[in-house]
Structure 1
Amino acid sequence: MADVEALIGDAIAAARSGDVRLAERQLDRLVVGDPTAVDPALSGRLVRAVGRLWPRGWQPVDVARIVIRRAGVRPGRLLADVLAADRRGQARTPAWWDEQLAALDARVWWADDAAHLAGWAARERLDRVTALREVVEVLAVLESLPPVAVLRPPPGASEVGAAPSGRSGSRMLDRVRALLAKAESTSYPAEAEALTGKAQELMARHSIDEALLETGPADQPGGIRLGTDAPYAGAKALLAQEVAAANRCESVWSDDLGFATVLGFPADLDAVEVLYTSLLVQATTAMLRGRAQRRRASGRRTREYDESFLNAFALRIGERLRAATERTSREAAATDGGERLLPVLATRSDAVRRRAETLFPEVTRGRLTIRDEEGWSSGAAAADRARLAPDARPPRPGSGGGRPSTRRPG
């Protein structure tokens, strides 16, 4: 068995080195090995590899996202099997953990662990060489991942002191999702903008209600991670930052890992997650519409146009969401008493900021560069069809604006 483990280690090291010829030579050594020894050893190493990631801050959805990003969709399905095998070895897991596994369709479908890899290869219609290559690629990804911020205690650890990332107020979320579904499906931009604004107002009011119900010291803020994969990863990170700011959260972008970490309290994190997902759809739809108009007018389509469009959309929609939050907060202060509400909100904002400073002591910030004025103007207009703040104006092209806070690699 030690010889098999050494072969696997050599194959992983070669894959991580980037030397294609060396990687193929080491893979050949695995291929000629005895499957009854190689396959169980590979399966065991996969399960141990994911298990080591949980205390280092990773969650199942995070691992799935980066494996798919770096290795591909088919290796992502293998990872789902590995996550299911790892779960089977856990005595207890929190509900949110099992929800993530269910979303990834991670389930044990095989009868014999020793035959799992052969069964997976048969399901995917892979020859043994290709199957082993992809197994090694997954291991190379898993064993190269750095520690990340621990947002929620992993299975077996205590949840004390950390606010969960919620699903608070499911009826409210259902109403918000219904509004956003209408916003995504309508062909009228003004209607989409109005529906999104109403969704933000509902979530802001829900957040205020949750804050006023608080008794005793506030819990420590929790967090979520939002995918920011290519294309236009920077624009997606900017959108996450703007939506987070409108909901009293902090966002830090790990561009090398393909996600933004958003910190805040449960109701606010719920708002960020559902709004970000919907606004990505709305922004992409509006961008494609603008691109088609540009192509008909000039016959040109450039990456600079698309990226400028999405950046402008993110900044302008952020202004509008913040205006909705501020208006809702003023109305709540008038109704519930500002002398009670405002200190609670200030305390929460301070707690979120301190949490961000603790988890990300070193971040870098950059200025936004706009390379296509037409794309910028079109993106600002797309986000500005139905004004929530009549006196607001989109920023001028080239006037700067904040790029997302970016985690500096440790």
Structure 2
Amino acid sequence: MPDAEQLLAAALTAARGTDVRRAERALDRLVVADGPAVDAALLAHLVRGLRRLWPHGWQPVDLDRIAARRLAPRGARLLRDGLAAQRREQPGPVPPWFDDQLAELGARWDGDAGWLNRRAEGDRITALRDAVDALVLVEGLPPIAVLRPPPGGPAGAPRATAPVAGSRMLDRVRALLAKAESTTFPAEAEALTGKAQELMARHSVDAALLDATAERPDQPSGVRLGTDAPYAAAKALLIQEVAAANRCESVWSDDLGFATVLGFPADLAAVELLHTSLLVQATAAMLHGRGERSTGSGRGERSTGSGRGERSAAHRRRTKGYDESFLNAFALRIGERLRATTAAADREAAAERGGERLLPVLAARSDAVRERVDQLFPGVTRHRLQVRDAEGWNSGTSAADRASLDVGAPPRRPVRRGR
């Protein structure tokens, strides 16, 4: 009988193919094979596969995000186990951010012996299937942009920048945005969101001027923000608009389900906070608008059994068109208003501190961010928006007016896409 390594190799090959019966037969052979040997082979393959990903740009949180999209829940948990097991064997220096991400994910390792059975919950064949699927995912991931120094410290990795997550200003911004999300009064949400953007814009100016005098100034770094279905393109557009308002650049990798935002540390922190809050506000407003629309369109309608399926399908199509148009309009409108708030804060700062000092600093930082985008994403393309529902577009624009300040702004732009 073939050994565990051969059986695992056959199972992986079959899982990558399209022959379901072949994959099930290969899995059956794994089930009846020597359990400890199969578990050891699975773990060894998983640890090797994960170790190969770090120099190619992947981070633990990136893997967890894509595992949640492509694997069963238990498969995603098995991958977190693998992350902890791989960390135990990781050679070379390990940067603090790596361990912070593992702690955030709750990745832990309880020992090699019987590791898969502990997750099997009495169903070993399903646990084996989930483990094989996790391995196929890990071994099939493409290289992505290296945003932080990976474990092992390879030459040429970007220098780490100082975290800003614990600053008092960001605590104030979080409090403002939390109130904006919870209030039922549009005018209050508008004022709170606008004040939050104003604080972040001023903090960005302060950080830029301080960094300009530093012996080792910061360099642009990056974060990845998820763009899960449904309406992934609209969510990517919202990230791009918030990024532009905070001196950052965003590129959407739609096949991998995330947008990469590049910028300086204070600006990246602002993008993460504001994007999260605005997505909550946009989704709540969209659902409210959808409910009002359904109530209005349903008046006087009567249905019969023969056409109910067709009407239901048509209603789903109309709802999807409304939602996409709403979120796209919200993103573009909110971007205009946030950029105008930033521009006003810059003008005020220039008047207080001297434009001849501030403006060259801000321009140099913008140039550095664009240069970093060109280095990491030389093949960026543009993705045009499609507006399928005028009512959704108008409602989304109105919702954005209620979520931010009512001032003018620069022209609109399409989403940028790249690998």
Same fold (TM over 0.5): yes
Match of 1:135 in 2: 131
Unaligned runs of 5+ in 2: 299-314
Does 1:207 find its partner at 2:204? yes
What's 1:25 paired with? 25
Q: 1:387 to 1:104 in 2, by over 3 A?
A: closer
For residues 386 and 144 of structure 1, the distance between their equivalents in structure 2, rounded to whole angstroms, comes to 41
C-alpha distance in 2 between matches for 1:313 and 1:290: 12
Cross-structure match for 2:304: none
Q: 1:293 to 1:48 in 2, by over 3 A?
A: same
> 1:97 Cα deviation (Å)?
1.5
Structure 2 vs 1, CA of residues 3 and 283 (structure 1 numbering), >3 Å: closer, same or farther? same
Does the CA-based 8 Å contact 1:308-1:379 persist in structure 2? yes
Q: Helix, strand or coil for the counterpart of 2:401?
A: coil
Larger radius of gyration: 2
Deviating more after overlay: 239-248 vs 66-75: 66-75
Aligned to 1:67: 67
Question: Is the 1:250–1:264 Cα contact (8 Å) retained in structure 2?
Answer: yes
The one-letter code of the counterpart of 1:129 is I
CA positional deviation for 1:78:
1.4
Separation in structure 2 between the aligned mates of residue 352 and residue 284 of structure 1, nearest angstrom:
30
Distance change in 2, residues 1:126/1:322 (3 Å): farther
In 2 relative to 1, CA 311–137 (structure 1 residues): closer, same or farther, beyond 3 Å?
same
Q: After superposing the two structures, state which structure 1 stretch, 157-166 or 184-193, moved more.
A: 157-166
Q: Within 5 Å, give how 1:259-338 maps onto structure 2.
A: 259-299=258-298, 302-338=319-355
Verify: 1:384 aligned to 2:394, yes or no.
no
CA RMSD of aligned residues (A): 2.0
Question: Contact (CA 8 Å) 2:221, 2:264: kept in 1 or not?
Answer: yes
Quote how far apart the aligned CAs of 1:150 are: 0.3
Residue correspondence of structure 1 range 4-403 to structure 2 within 5 A: 4-90=4-90, 92-108=93-109, 110=110, 112-121=111-120, 125-157=121-153, 162-164=159-161, 166-167=163-164, 170-214=167-211, 215=213, 216=215, 218-299=217-298, 302-385=319-402, 388-391=405-408, 401-403=412-414
Residue 405 (structure 1) aligns with: 416
Where has structure 1 moved over 3 Å in runs of 4 or more?
158-161, 216-219, 389-393
**Residues 1:199 and 1:240: Cα distance change in structure 2 (over 3 Å):** same
DSSP 3-state at the match of 1:383: helix
Q: 1:165 to 1:243 in 2, by over 3 A?
A: farther
Structure 1 residue 306 displacement after superposition:
0.5
Letter in 2 for 1:286: A
1:390/1:246 CA distance change after superposition, 3 Å: closer
Q: What is residue 307 of structure 2 aligned with on the other side?
A: none
Conserved 8 A contact 1:223-1:262 = yes
Residues 322-364 of structure 1 deviation map (CA, whole Å, 9 limit, x = unaligned): 0111111111111111111100000000000000001000111
Residues 1:331 and 1:238: Cα distance change in structure 2 (over 3 Å): same
Q: Is the Cα–Cα contact under 8 Å of residues 165 and 224 in structure 1 kept in the other structure?
A: no
Alpha carbons of 1:5 and 1:320: their partners in 2 closer, same or farther (altered >3 Å)?
same
CA contact (8 A) 1:165 1:222 kept: no
CA distance, structure 2, for counterparts of residue 75 and residue 161 of structure 1: 32
CA distance in 2: counterparts of 1:392 and 1:152, whole angstroms: 33
The alignment partner of 2:78 has SS state of: helix
Give how far 1:126 is off. Answer: 4.6
CA contact (8 A) 2:148 2:221 kept: yes
Q: Partner amino acid for 1:21? A: R
Report the alpha carbon displacement of residue 156 of structure 1 after superposing the two structures with TM: 2.2
Identity of aligned residues (%): 67
State the SS of the aligned residue for 2:383: coil
**8 Å Cα contact 1:250-1:352 kept in structure 2:** yes
Q: Counterparts of 1:403 and 1:35 in 2: how far apart (Å)? A: 53
The alpha carbon displacement at 1:43 in A equals 1.3
User: Matches of 1:391 and 1:270 in 2, distance apart?
Assistant: 25
Secondary structure in structure 2 of the residue aligned to 1:252: strand
Structure 1 regions of 5+ residues with no counterpart? 396-400
SS at structure 1 position matched to 2:260? strand
Letter aligned with residue 227 of structure 1: G
- Deviations 1:339-395 (CA, angstroms, capped at 9, x unpaired): 1110000000000000000100011102211000000000000000266244569x9
CA contact (8 A) 1:165 1:223 kept: no
**SS of residue in 1 equivalent to 2:81:** helix
> In the aligned structure 1, how far is the partner of 2:118 from the partner of 2:177?
41
Would you say how many aligned residue pairs link Structure 1 and Structure 2? 397
Quick one: distance in 1 between partners of 2:29 and 2:327?
Answer: 48
1:218-272 deviation line (CA, Å, top 9, x unaligned): 4331000000010000000000100110011110000000000000000000001
Tell me how far apart the structure 2 counterparts of residues 4 and 294 of structure 1 sit (CA, whole Å): 59
Normalising by structure 2, we get a TM-score of 0.90
Change (3 A) 1:326 1:163: farther
Q: Is the contact between residue 72 and residue 130 of structure 2 (CA under 8 Å) also seen in structure 1?
A: no
Paired residues of 1:366 and 1:402 also in contact (CA < 8 A): no
Structure 2: distance between partners of 1:392 and 1:58:
36
